Amino acid sequence: MEKRRLSFWEIWNLSFGYFGIQMGFALQNANASRILQTFGADVHHLSWFWIVAPLMGLVVQPIIGHYSDKTWGRFGRRKPYFLVGAVLASLGLILMPQAGAFTALLPALWMGAGFLMIMDASFNIAMEPFRALVADILPSDQRTLGFSVQTALIGFGAVLGSWLPYILSNWFGVKSTASEGEIPFHLILSFLIGAIVLIISVIITLSTTKEYSPEELEAFDRAEGKEIIKEEKTSLSNIFNDFKNMPQTMKQLGWVQFFTWFGLFGMWVFATPAIAHHVYDLPLSDTSSITYNEAGDWVGIIFGVYNAVSAIFAFFLPALALKLGRKTTHTVSLLIGGIGLISIYFIHDPKLLIFSMMGVGIAWASILAMPYAMLAGAIPSKKMGVYMGIFNFFICIPQIINSILGGPIVKYIYGGDPVYAIMMSGVAFIIAALLVQRVQDNEKPIKA
């Protein structure tokens, strides 16, 4: 008994909800530091506000994965979770840039941080089931293609989210400046549009994708010779047992993920202040001038560049993985991304940052596809959700460490210059690339 092979457009619809999720996530990544600085956050404290994101992922994704493995009803197995996550994330997107309207309750900075927490928790609720859904539905020889298409949609959504403030300001004349302590209207409108697109894209996946029942998935596992997991009593303590008994491939990939996401977190948190200070020659205290907002918009543009490159490169990943192997493909991609991040130190013309981010885009495409393609073949279907959630530990823990230490390192070791945090991210990518070679990739090369 084998899973049905899906057409390209069926695979596209399967992950289309991720387009909207990533559009919202990109709006957050490119603009959260900027919004928090506008509300009064110090550059050396930014990483502490960003700790919310990995903490939410660390707690939420394994729990959602565990319960989505156990869920089956009229609405399916994974679908209820990413629908609820999408609705809550949309509310966070609408409210975060308007946190200043709630100052009667708390200062704008703390309200903004609270809405950031809601967004992060909700994105995590929505994201994890999408990873498991691809692994649930696609046969083994289509998984690299499935995760690559998902990566492309992530890239397209992130491009739109990253570029939207610039587009609204420069193409449609939406006001991009505001009084000190207030968020420009083009950002508020961008977040509102992101919320609407998020809901629509998730509904498209819900309406076009049919999930396999637990009985069907077990039959597929038997046909593939995978270990059949006996039904367990639903208990959160099982998550810790699953963590202890994780497959060897997952442990090895964990170290790769650790250094990869340590680097990504540093880039996301410090890109705006680093580029405003190092490339635009602005003082770190400037968080409201016209030039600062231009720098912030340009960060959105170059973030869109790396996501656009990742979306295009994702279509080449299955062929590259077939020819070179998944490990070599991921190693080379991470090395290119690391060099791209380190090169930012040597750039003083904002336009040249596009080339740096092209390298990051190649790495990002591989980061979103290759580890999951390698992992999916090492775990049984009945544990797919919880292990995809546990795998998120290796994404969240390095971000938590960076969020705690990143600010003090910039302040006391780097002399207050955040560009060195970007360079450290590049070094982390290179370490991750070297660790890929230790991974045992058990599954046969996958055909596109």
What interhelical angle do 17-38 and 79-95 show, nearest 10? Answer: 30
Mean pLDDT over residues 141-161, rounded? Answer: 85
Least confident stretch, 3-12, 115-124, 430-439: 115-124
Does residue 3 carry a pLDDT above 90? no
Segments making up each domain of the chain, as ranges: 8-209+238-436
Mean model confidence pLDDT for the chain: 84
Band (236; pLDDT cuts 50, 70, 90): low
Band (259; pLDDT cuts 50, 70, 90): very high
* Three-class DSSP labels, 215-233: HHHHHHHHHHCCCCCCCCC
What's domain 8-209+238-436's superfamily in CATH?
A: MFS general substrate transporter like domains (1.20.1250.20)
Band (122; pLDDT cuts 50, 70, 90): confident
Please say whether the beta carbons of 407 and 47 come within 8 A. Answer: yes
pTM above 0.75, yes or no: no
CA distance 319 to 33: 37
Band (162; pLDDT cuts 50, 70, 90): confident
CA distance 339 to 363: 10
In tens, the pLDDT along 175-184 reads 887 787 788 8
Does residue 228 carry a pLDDT above 60? no
Q: Which of 218 and 173 is assigned the larger pLDDT?
A: 173
In tens, the pLDDT along 49-97 reads 777 767 777 777 677 776 777 777 777 778 888 888 899 999 989 988 8
Instruction: Name the residue among 110, 30, 290, 301 with its Cα closest to residue 184.
Output: 290
Least confident stretch, 198-202, 291-295, 360-364, 384-388: 384-388
Structure confidence at residue 448 (pLDDT): 38
Instruction: Name the residue among 75, 73, 66 with its Cα closest to residue 125.
Output: 66
Instruction: Name the residue among 270, 281, 263 with its Cα closest to residue 414.
Output: 270
- Decide: helix, strand or coil at residue 181: coil
339 CB neighbour count, 10 Å cutoff: 16
Q: Which amino acid is at 364?
A: W
- Decide: helix, strand or coil at residue 321: helix
413 CB neighbour count, 10 Å cutoff: 12
- Decide: helix, strand or coil at residue 76: strand
In tens, the pLDDT along 276-285 reads 999 999 998 8
Instruction: Name the residue among 303, 357, 396 with its Cα closest to residue 63.
Output: 396
91 CB neighbour count, 10 Å cutoff: 14
